[in-house]
Structure 1
Amino acid sequence: MTDAPVELVRLSGVGRTVLLPDDEDLTILSGVDLVVHGGDHIGIVGRSGTGKTTLLNMLGLLDRPTHGTMEWAGRDVRRLSGRATAHIRGREIGFVFQQFNLLPGLSALENVIAPLMYASGREFWSRRRIAAEMLERVGLAERLDSRPQHLSGGEQQRVAIARALVRSPRVVLADEPTGALDVETGAQVMTLLDDVSRDSGAALITITHDPGVAAIARRRYRLEHGALHPLEAAA
């Protein structure tokens, strides 16, 4: 008998409203319901202006809902201190962005080592080996010493994936991860991201405007009018 997947994140009736300069309220999200378990791959698709970035910021604990409840591993995020929130964000969440956000003066290996500088104990002292193994896992064992400007777009995104996963996060948030790549390279990167996340047991949440990118997910939603609407399950 296999163990039930662990619930990591739960959003119940979550909304986000901001006050505009003219004192009008702007509702960006309203009534968002979502449960994320370990090993999930969730694709969220939506047009520009539908609140994708706002939702990503809440899932990444960069922002908090103005109404509704959000729980992280059973803990109400409203009750978390700033220090506890920062710890979860740094240790439990990995981010993959469209523009890679690699440090140009550092090699691929040094970019992946960077998150491990905040680790402790064996993880800190073994940071070089851990980073090298993660780069090997994404197919860049021969590119450890290459700087971003000497890597292709697909290789740069692989470095970004290695960096996001090097501390074995429980949730990986991918924000338009293929937006700067051609179609073929983007498909390869999404397959890699899905495979590596699944192997590590992390939940992968991909937020995109591209239905083709979302299609690889095992659960898919459309963000529209401030709420999530389930889409037909991927085959």
Structure 2
Amino acid sequence: MSGAELLKLEAVTRSVQLPDDSELQILSGIDLTVSEGDHIAIVGRSGTGKSTLLNILGLLDTPTSGTLTWSGTDASRLSARRAARIRGRDLGFVFQQFNLLPGRTALENVMAPLMYSTGRDFWQRRRLATESLERVGLGDRLDSMPQTLSGGEQQRVAIARALVRRPRVVLADEPTGALDVATGRAVMELLDAATGEDGSALITITHDSNVAALARAQFQLDGGRLHPLEVEAAL
């Protein structure tokens, strides 16, 4: 069941100027509302603008036109400092390639977002990171280096890192792209359960219909626009 509105895109476009002075339209009139507890999948082929849309949702990029509202505030009015604070505190990111720090243990990787915190989060960072790894079933791998972990385990470390601050929105960009089908499904079920437990919104960017089928609302990004989509997981 959805709660308070977190993100709202209204008529959002994104275009870039090419070297020949022509304009490349990437997004064209995107409308999307994301509330607490939502699990949304956005499906699209490579090159359709999925990553551009995720960057806008994650306050890493700004629309060319249209409005992005974060928790009731027009994002264009956010200072760079406040936007960075929201990204660090309220947004969690999970990527296809895990992006774990080499030479750092699983625990140290999950602690990393807390190193820039203040107060309780900073002083209790080891306990919070340990609890986050335990949530994803890696309580016995705290001291393991990334290269000693399987792909599924590395992605679970990345999920623990994304969840350690209990963000309000988790953005997952092709989170199963580097995993086999069975492992990918297990990882997505874990991510869905963890965000559901926290009441967080989960937005998954994917090209995989099996991953999209786990979401409660699906959209296809095509021609720069979002269209409602219904998908069924393969047997």
Per the normalisation by structure 2, the TM-score is: 0.97
Aligned equivalents of 2:200, 2:232: Cα separation in 1:
19
Q: What residue identity is the alignment partner of 1:157?
A: Q
Q: Which runs of 4+ in 1 moved over 4 A?
A: none
Structure 2 unaligned spans of 5+: none
How does 1:124-203 map onto structure 2 within 5 Å? 124-203=122-201
The 10-residue stretch of structure 1 (122-131 or 225-234) with the greater mean CA deviation from structure 2: 225-234
Amino acid across the alignment from 1:80: L
Distance in 2 between residues matched to 1:136 and 1:85, nearest whole Å: 30
Provide the rounded CA distance (Å) in 1 between the counterparts of 2:101 and 2:120: 25
Q: 1:165, 1:118 → 2: CA distance?
A: 15
Question: How far apart, CA to CA, are the structure 2 residues paired with 1:213 and 1:52?
Answer: 15
TM-score (structure 1 length as normaliser): 0.97
RMSD of the alignment, in Å? 1.3
Match of 1:77 among 56, 75, 78: 75
Deviation, structure 1 residue 119:
1.2
Deviations 1:184-211 (A, max 9, x none): 1001000000000110111000001111
1:1-235 aligned at under 5 Å gives the runs 5-232=3-230
> Matched residues, percent identical?
69
Q: Conserved in 2, the CA contact under 8 Å of 1:206 and 1:214?
A: yes
CA positional deviation for 1:232: 2.5
Where does the alignment leave 5 or more consecutive residues of structure 1 unmatched? Answer: none
Q: CA deviation at 1:233?
A: 7.2
Give the distance between the partners of 2:114 and 2:81, measured in 1 at CA.
18
Number of equivalences? 233
